[in-house]
Structure 1
Amino acid sequence: MKHKFLNKKIFLPNFGLSSSRKIKFYWLFALSIILTILLVTKDIPVIAHQSYLTEQYYISQQPNNNLDLLQQGKNYYQKGQYTEAAKVWEQVLKSYQDNQEVVSQVQVLNYLALVYKDLGKTQKAQTTIAESINLLKTGKTSDIQSNLLLAQALNTQGTIQLIQGQTETAIDTWKQAAAIYEGAGDKTGKFISQINQAQGLQTLGQYRRAKTLLEELVAELQSQPDSLLKAQGLRSLGVALQTIGDLAQSKTILEKSLAISKQFKSSKDVSAVVFSLGNVAKDLAEYDMAINNYQEAVNLSPEIQGKLSAKLNQLSVVVKLQRWEAVESLILAIDNNLAQLAASRPAIYSRINFAETLMIIEREIQSGKATLKSDTAKIAQLLATAIQQAREIKDFRSEAYALQELGKLYQENSQLVEAKKLTQQAQNIAQEMNAADLLALTATQSGAIAKAQGDIDSAIAAYETAFNNIQSLRGDLVAISTDVQFDFKESIEPIYREYVGLLLEKGDNQKNLKQARQVIEALQIAELDNYFKDACVDNYPVNIDQIDVQAAVIYPIILSDRLEVILSIPNQPLHHYSTKLVKRQVETTLRHLYSYMSRGYIREESFRLSQRVYKWLIAPAEAKLNSNNVKTLVFVLDGLLRNLPMSALHDGDRYLIEKYNIALSPGLQLFPQGLQRKKLDILAAGLTEARQGFSSLPAVTGEIKEVTKEFPAKTLLNQDFTRDKFKKELDSQSFPIVHLATHGQFSSNPQETFLLTWSDRISILDFDRLFQKRRLGILEPVELLVMSACQTAAGDNRATLGLAGLALRSGAKSTIASLWSVNDESTANLMKEFYQQLNNPQLSKAEALRQAQIKIMANPLYQHPYFWASFVLVGNWL
């Protein structure tokens, strides 16, 4: 195939198989990339630590010619020339097999297993490492020598098991390796095995366990004497902490690594750690610092590839900042570096990375934001070379990435036939490799191309493939690093929306509607995973008919060109309706409505906007709701709709709360349980006095007094309300209701989501620990958590994720909280009325809140939605 973008006649026949790229932790930070970048194995090709007992013994036993070949293989491996490394090591292995040198065979088999893994030959890697372990069990080696070789082989085996999706098995394997290293007194080996365990835990989405383990490793490393080995270990740990989003701790650890590296005057190590610090600064949006760090890494690195990696990251930052003069000079410098590199995996990754950044620049040129010269031929040339080099070294995964990027280039230039061919070739490679991350990426691109060609059925099929593979990578794609968090909004979330949009183009096709509902709920869970950087949400699919036969669920979803709504009524087919409006118009209306409601003014304008949103979400469903005797509306809200109280939508005559009970849910896969009507003891805590810069809440005294009238209660007020005392009371007995009358904030940043106490703050992670006995089943879970003076962060489009986050971390079945800063007195009155209603066993939680809101609304002083609509019920409404 001749590519029109190329100035030279470059042909790319039969685009074949693929390999892996290490591009700036891009949105496909999935299983194989975790392995390529982060997993540390105690093997010489991967780690520069060569002072192990096994390595010393092994080297001392080798004839010079084999030593030369082994070193040649290592040189190839370190340059990313894996095919050449494999050939050399296979030759050495044959020599050792002929001479029946067991120890030497074991070591080379370990090397070969790693290189086969990197070449995408997972099954061959598994067989090879199994052969190594079997030799150790049957061969004649000394105990200490055998144990250390076994530990090394187990570390390698763990990486291969992780690739195959056997994460828990991999963690167990690494635990075995760590135990062997500890028994042999090899602290470095143990440390490496434990870092691997932490990465495995993160792959499972067990962020908290991973973080605890990494914190233990930090403490252990601090006690060791300074050495380059310690510096390298700290750097590995710093990168791991960055990956799981703990940027502050990552920066601290990397700075310690830097100080030790400077102490030992190792320019290579200093360059590497400064590069990592640049990545942390970039994640923290400290862009000038990131640029300076990358430049220092360029100056210090003794290797062309090291300089190139730093320049590429530097280029991505200056492009983001639109510093076009710096962009031009960096492009020239990168071109010069690339010209000096032979075909290797790092060189291929660099070309793809460079091409990707140049494509971003090209978009800026087309939009008029950049004044640089357009050069799509240069981008195509880079990718064509990357494909050819990948074939030369038989690096299948990186070939697929290069093909996919070249397909994207054609797609963006409206050459859809060529784009489709290239993307399909990349997808075929991903399929052959069973690489879920590549399949998600390439299938998404195939779907977008098919949609542009008007082939909706093919587009749906492609997006289904992408969706299924993203779901299989749940813990990896949506939960890991801050880069992934950013790219979740930019790259992953749109896949869900595009897929739903295509499914709903087919009218009321029940199969498509059911799938669309599943995708919407999956998006809700993915957003929560992404919010926590932790795939922590346990989901249990529940049919609404099994929860409440008089409740209907409304799923609005904001698409680029329309607002779609799916309606689910028990014992009825799913129904959907849409409003043709571009996303910008929808979001402008929602922002204005929120502003008018939350500030209590321009009543006429708020009525007008409220009625408009009512017509979008409710009016088309009214007849079905009435004919099915629906009493409760449960909203699974999307985007900015989450910041609005559905209770305040208006039909021109009445508010929605005057007609229906209302609840919010992150999806019916969560919170299926109802309120257990038994003795409802309350733990009530609050602040009345001004604390930590927050104003006083004088009405809280009366609020807590009224709340505790209705039920047996334990009260913590002002000085008695501290985090420690609150935890002590929570741990003392089961409290079905926990009522917190204090300042707090819900934010899209978990670090800025908190509740105020007398002397400190309770964060989302604190909630996890405070309610631990309930999560473990030692105490009964909280039936109802009420937070009566909190608010969503102003102007934060995803702030209500913090509200849902606190509910999830507490394990509460239902949560009541406010969407904006509420009036102190009206809130006290509303809470008094709510608990009086809740004391009626005939009323559900949603009905109790509804009656309280209607009662407050009847007061002429509090008619405006500002006073009563802020409070929403999240979770189970029964």
Structure 2
Amino acid sequence: MIFSIKHNRCLYICLSIVSLCLAVTITPAKPSVLMQTNSTFNVSLSNSQSTNGLEQGRNLYQSGRFAEAVIAWQRAANNYHTQGDRTNEALSLSYLSLAQQELNQWEAARQSIEKSVKILQTAKPSFNAIIWAQILNTQANLELSTGQTETALEIWQQAQKYYEQVGDNMGSLGSQINQAQALQTLGFYRRSKQHLEMLTQKLAVMPDSEIKVSGLRSLGLALDAIDDSKSQQVLEQSLAIANKIKAKTQLSSILVILGKVASDSQDSEAALKYFKDAQTTATNPNELLQARLATFKVLVDYDKLEAETSLALQLQQQLLELPPSHSSLYAAINFVATLNRLEKPERVLPIPELANLMSVTVKSAQQIQDAPAQAYALHQWGQLYHRTNQLTKAKELAQKSLNIARQLQADDIIAQSAWQVGRLYKQQGDHPEAIRAYTEAIKSLKALRGDMVAVNPDVQFSFRESVEPVYRELVGLLLDEKPTQPALMQARELIESLQIAELDNFFREACLDKAQQIDNIDPTATVIYPIILSDRLAVILSQAGQPLRYYVTHKSQTDIEQTLDNFLITINPVSDSQEQSRLSQQIYDWLISPPEQEQALKNTKTLVFVLDGKLRNIPIAALFDGQQYLIEKYAVALSPGLQLMAVQSFQQTKIKAIVAGISESRNGFSALPGVELEVKQISQTLPSSMLLNQKFTNQSLADRVKSSRADVIHLATHGQFSSRLEETFLLTWNGQVNVQELSELLKNHSEDSSQAIELLVLSACDTAAGDDRAVLGLAGLAIKSGARSTIATLWPVKDKAAEILMTRFYDYLRQPKITKAEALRQAQINLIRQTDFYNPFFWSAFVLVGNWL
């Protein structure tokens, strides 16, 4: 069960690599904060025992033996205190905090760094700037790790000033890279990107040196964290300089990072080449191990059985021979976790041998007092027993892992182990205990939110493998047989939470903080939750003041998804209309017919769908009952869940708009000749500020948004929604604006939520081809933009059809007492009944997401 969330990997590695900029002696990159040597501070140590303790702690820390480093630095701090050496006592305590952070000992880490800072504040004469900078760096790392991002940003800004006081340019750059990461965590993506671009320019003019190599490597990782295309270029520059100045100790770590960037981009051949070179250039066993592990993961991902078996034997031997350390333990855990992802890991190595490796790892973790590693290893070991159907032993190990995780209050480990315990109870037929364990796992996943179980960078997971199934399996348990009202309410809440978790994963941060029960907003609306489970399609129906209703269709997930795929293919003017009607009616019968037959929708004006899985990709408005489309009977809206801004009265007669578009061919995108007419028509219909072609730039849009009181922002330009954050963007005249930057730009509209954008319209967008989760990008933008409602297109629509539909939409919207959903419905009906664009291809691509009122 490997969780792989790129944001957190880069966050923690970036923090650690940046600290390389602070050191005189450059050492290979590792996922921790590296030490400054005493020569950096020009500190003379008076006691050989203390000196040895400080140096011994550094050596232990850099070899991953954190528990032993804690002992060494605690002893050194006590000795320096006895001697009255306040300088080295403060440094020892700062280092001690770093080691305690690595062991998840957060309260102890905070006490150590606070004591260190207090010494600095009270010391006479005052400490020199470089010592202040080092200790502030440790403090900021702790604040960021514990979610106090704004405080971390402020502390790194202070550290930067101290570095600049003594002319330490690399230290200053390191602090600025960390500030860029903090800005990203706070959601200021444009500022973060601008910050990093400025640092790139500064590093480019510096003379070649090992410190420059380290700085570029750090910068490359930071850029990769925000999916900047310049990341690889910066990392390759770092590699080129390292080769040029023969910085051999730098090469392997840079090559491993480049390989991971290539792997993230689905370029397996390039990744394997980088990892092979990393093995060749490795200067120590740990570097060689990390390069081999990275190679092995790619081989497993791409099912290269012969190569992976040969490498697995080498890794197994090396892992058994390495002395216990933080890095060697997690290497073993990751190795077995990678194999545990396979359907048949025994085709690579016998399961008893893997179990033996985890047994040795558990004992080693106990030996060096690395409790998190012990819990992770127990979990993987339990998975191996589960595979061989030794359920009692598997549950015993999973429970041990869970108990340790609870003591550590480590939600990332609790989430894994409680899920494993729940699956084992479920397999043994004990549903109440299974539900309890699953519920504990979900609680931990919610606690993690944006970190999404990647708190520990050494143990990586993927959302689809290790988060989504927890929710779905618990929903399946709750909806077995005839679910009670409490079970239905819990299942509905879980599906809402899963939607939030998916968006958090998409944005790599917790992006939804306010919730409102949407089925209580409008008594004439019915909220429909279709849930695709492995053996059925479950539908929960929610109406204000009514008990939840439940309908189920027993059909396999494969059959359901195949029907949805086939229907989507038929949404084309040249497709077989009879096949389109047949498939459309099939889906209608699953979702709408049961409540209609019970007269449950007789007072409903608007259907609000909280769509699940592949249902998100189909045009719900085009479902057909045999005589009419769904949109001819009800207004339709989509919602990611309960998260909507507070309802605000919309003064339709006083609408003000910003209308922007690009009609000409630009940056490799084709011309949209109908956009010019669309933009001009809407500008004549509404009081508007218009930006067309050259006038529609990132900056001009930002300026108009900030200075105007616009209720509506209408953007007619190329754009794409994808399940990949970096591939979700809009086109402006001077380039692309990704979804993070656009959301930040739109939020400049007003800090007052009562002045939020009422409606964001994107009338020429597309969903990424072949991406069955692409609508995540649309839902994400709808939420992150701060707009109460978003209208967008699921695929590019003929210019003339878009122009007619949008113009008529605004005509209807200006009428009193009409909702946005009803205005869109009337515009779509107008195309169906009064134009040549009656085929669903032309009108059903337009969807309303968010507040439909």
Scaled by the length of structure 1, the TM-score of the pair is 0.87
Given that residues 539 and 591 in structure 2 are in contact (C-alpha distance below 8 angstroms), is that contact kept between their aligned partners in structure 1?
A: yes
Amino acid at match of 1:237: L
SS in 2 for 1:771: helix
Instruction: Please state if 1:320 is matched with 2:294.
Output: no
Aligned to 1:135: 119
Q: CA deviation at 1:388?
A: 0.8
In structure 2, relative to structure 1, the CA distance for the partners of 1:139 and 1:683 (3 Å cut) is closer
Aligned to 1:543: 517
Aligned to 1:282: 263
C-alpha distance in structure 2 between counterparts of 1:690 and 1:181, whole Å? 48
In structure 2, relative to structure 1, the CA distance for the partners of 1:48 and 1:761 (3 Å cut) is closer
C-alpha distance in structure 1 between counterparts of 2:684 and 2:75, whole Å? 84
Given that residues 425 and 434 in structure 2 are in contact (C-alpha distance below 8 angstroms), is that contact kept between their aligned partners in structure 1?
A: yes
Given that residues 722 and 767 in structure 2 are in contact (C-alpha distance below 8 angstroms), is that contact kept between their aligned partners in structure 1?
A: yes
The Cα offsets for residues 93-126 of structure 1, whole Å up to 9 and x where unpaired, read as 4443443333332232333333333334333333
Q: CA deviation at 1:689?
A: 5.5
SS in 1 for 2:259: helix
Aligned to 2:380: 405
Aligned to 2:207: 225
Matches within 5 A, 1:831-842: 831-842=806-817
Deviates more, 1:45-54 or 1:385-394: 45-54
Given that residues 73 and 88 in structure 1 are in contact (C-alpha distance below 8 angstroms), is that contact kept between their aligned partners in structure 2?
A: yes
C-alpha distance in structure 2 between counterparts of 1:381 and 1:868, whole Å? 61
C-alpha distance in structure 2 between counterparts of 1:726 and 1:194, whole Å? 28
Instruction: Please state if 1:82 is matched with 2:66.
Output: yes
C-alpha distance in structure 2 between counterparts of 1:283 and 1:641, whole Å? 27
Given that residues 66 and 102 in structure 2 are in contact (C-alpha distance below 8 angstroms), is that contact kept between their aligned partners in structure 1?
A: yes
Aligned to 2:579: 605
SS in 2 for 1:858: helix
Instruction: Please state if 1:56 is matched with 2:42.
Output: yes
Deviates more, 1:622-631 or 1:316-325: 622-631
Instruction: Please state if 1:799 is matched with 2:780.
Output: no
Q: CA deviation at 1:412?
A: 2.2
Determine which of 110, 117, 138 is the counterpart of 1:126.
110
Instruction: Please state if 1:387 is matched with 2:369.
Output: no
Aligned to 1:554: 528
C-alpha distance in structure 2 between counterparts of 1:481 and 1:348, whole Å? 13
Scaled by the length of structure 2, the TM-score of the pair is 0.90
In structure 2, relative to structure 1, the CA distance for the partners of 1:176 and 1:511 (3 Å cut) is farther
Aligned to 2:165: 183
In structure 2, relative to structure 1, the CA distance for the partners of 1:28 and 1:576 (3 Å cut) is farther
Matches within 5 A, 1:12-23: none
SS in 2 for 1:849: helix
Given that residues 775 and 811 in structure 1 are in contact (C-alpha distance below 8 angstroms), is that contact kept between their aligned partners in structure 2?
A: no
Matches within 5 A, 1:666-745: 666-674=640-648, 675-686=650-661, 697=672, 699-700=674-675, 703-704=678-679, 706-717=681-692, 726=701, 729-731=704-706, 733-745=708-720
Deviates more, 1:807-816 or 1:612-621: 807-816
SS in 2 for 1:774: coil
SS in 1 for 2:627: coil
Deviates more, 1:130-139 or 1:310-319: 130-139
Amino acid at match of 1:56: N
Instruction: Please state if 1:567 is matched with 2:541.
Output: yes
Aligned to 1:415: 390
Aligned to 2:630: 656
SS in 2 for 1:128: helix
C-alpha distance in structure 1 between counterparts of 2:92 and 2:675, whole Å? 71
Q: CA deviation at 1:72?
A: 3.2
The Cα offsets for residues 600-644 of structure 1, whole Å up to 9 and x where unpaired, read as 521221222111111211122225664661111111111211122
Q: CA deviation at 1:423?
A: 0.9
The Cα offsets for residues 323-362 of structure 1, whole Å up to 9 and x where unpaired, read as 223223322332343344211111111211222233345x
Deviates more, 1:383-392 or 1:748-757: 748-757
SS in 1 for 2:530: strand
Instruction: Please state if 1:578 is matched with 2:552.
Output: yes
C-alpha distance in structure 1 between counterparts of 2:380 and 2:273, whole Å? 29
Amino acid at match of 1:294: F
In structure 2, relative to structure 1, the CA distance for the partners of 1:130 and 1:626 (3 Å cut) is closer
Given that residues 687 and 742 in structure 1 are in contact (C-alpha distance below 8 angstroms), is that contact kept between their aligned partners in structure 2?
A: yes
In structure 2, relative to structure 1, the CA distance for the partners of 1:405 and 1:29 (3 Å cut) is farther
Amino acid at match of 2:562: T
Given that residues 188 and 744 in structure 2 are in contact (C-alpha distance below 8 angstroms), is that contact kept between their aligned partners in structure 1?
A: no
Given that residues 15 and 141 in structure 2 are in contact (C-alpha distance below 8 angstroms), is that contact kept between their aligned partners in structure 1?
A: no
Q: CA deviation at 1:459?
A: 2.1
C-alpha distance in structure 1 between counterparts of 2:265 and 2:357, whole Å? 30
Determine which of 473, 484, 497 is the counterpart of 1:509.
484
Given that residues 479 and 532 in structure 1 are in contact (C-alpha distance below 8 angstroms), is that contact kept between their aligned partners in structure 2?
A: no
SS in 2 for 1:791: strand
Q: CA deviation at 1:816?
A: 2.3
Given that residues 120 and 396 in structure 1 are in contact (C-alpha distance below 8 angstroms), is that contact kept between their aligned partners in structure 2?
A: no
Aligned to 1:442: 417
Q: CA deviation at 1:727?
A: 5.1
Aligned to 1:102: 86
C-alpha distance in structure 1 between counterparts of 2:42 and 2:667, whole Å? 59
In structure 2, relative to structure 1, the CA distance for the partners of 1:26 and 1:721 (3 Å cut) is closer
Given that residues 203 and 475 in structure 1 are in contact (C-alpha distance below 8 angstroms), is that contact kept between their aligned partners in structure 2?
A: no
SS in 1 for 2:389: coil
Given that residues 527 and 542 in structure 2 are in contact (C-alpha distance below 8 angstroms), is that contact kept between their aligned partners in structure 1?
A: yes
In structure 2, relative to structure 1, the CA distance for the partners of 1:354 and 1:671 (3 Å cut) is same
Determine which of 530, 533, 537 is the counterpart of 2:505.
530
Q: CA deviation at 1:431?
A: 0.8
Instruction: Please state if 1:350 is matched with 2:324.
Output: no
SS in 2 for 1:598: coil
Given that residues 31 and 476 in structure 1 are in contact (C-alpha distance below 8 angstroms), is that contact kept between their aligned partners in structure 2?
A: no
In structure 2, relative to structure 1, the CA distance for the partners of 1:293 and 1:832 (3 Å cut) is closer
Determine which of 341, 347, 365 is the counterpart of 2:322.
341
SS in 2 for 1:473: helix
C-alpha distance in structure 1 between counterparts of 2:146 and 2:691, whole Å? 52
Matches within 5 A, 1:453-492: 453-477=428-452, 487-492=462-467
User: Once the two structures are aligned, what percentage of the paired residues are identical?
Assistant: 43
SS in 1 for 2:848: strand
Q: CA deviation at 1:566?
A: 1.6
Instruction: Please state if 1:152 is matched with 2:134.
Output: yes
Amino acid at match of 1:317: V
Instruction: Please state if 1:114 is matched with 2:92.
Output: no
C-alpha distance in structure 1 between counterparts of 2:711 and 2:370, whole Å? 58
The Cα offsets for residues 536-593 of structure 1, whole Å up to 9 and x where unpaired, read as x344221235521111111112122221222110111222222222211111000111
In structure 2, relative to structure 1, the CA distance for the partners of 1:610 and 1:112 (3 Å cut) is same
Q: CA deviation at 1:454?
A: 1.9
Given that residues 528 and 609 in structure 2 are in contact (C-alpha distance below 8 angstroms), is that contact kept between their aligned partners in structure 1?
A: yes
Instruction: Please state if 1:494 is matched with 2:437.
Output: no
Q: CA deviation at 1:401?
A: 0.6
Aligned to 2:352: 377
CA RMSD, Structure 1 to Structure 2 (Å):
3.5
In structure 2, relative to structure 1, the CA distance for the partners of 1:159 and 1:575 (3 Å cut) is same
Deviates more, 1:336-345 or 1:609-618: 336-345
SS in 2 for 1:592: helix
In structure 2, relative to structure 1, the CA distance for the partners of 1:203 and 1:187 (3 Å cut) is same
The Cα offsets for residues 807-856 of structure 1, whole Å up to 9 and x where unpaired, read as 44543322222223323444443334333322321322211222222232
Amino acid at match of 2:313: L
Long gaps (5+) in structure 2: none
Kindly tell me the number of residue pairs found equivalent between the two proteins. Answer: 845
In structure 2, relative to structure 1, the CA distance for the partners of 1:169 and 1:598 (3 Å cut) is same
Long gaps (5+) in structure 1: 1-20, 367-371
Deviates more, 1:581-590 or 1:102-111: 102-111
Matches within 5 A, 1:252-271: 252-271=233-252
C-alpha distance in structure 2 between counterparts of 1:98 and 1:405, whole Å? 45
C-alpha distance in structure 1 between counterparts of 2:454 and 2:364, whole Å? 33
Aligned to 2:568: 594
Deviates more, 1:766-775 or 1:589-598: 766-775
In structure 2, relative to structure 1, the CA distance for the partners of 1:494 and 1:776 (3 Å cut) is same
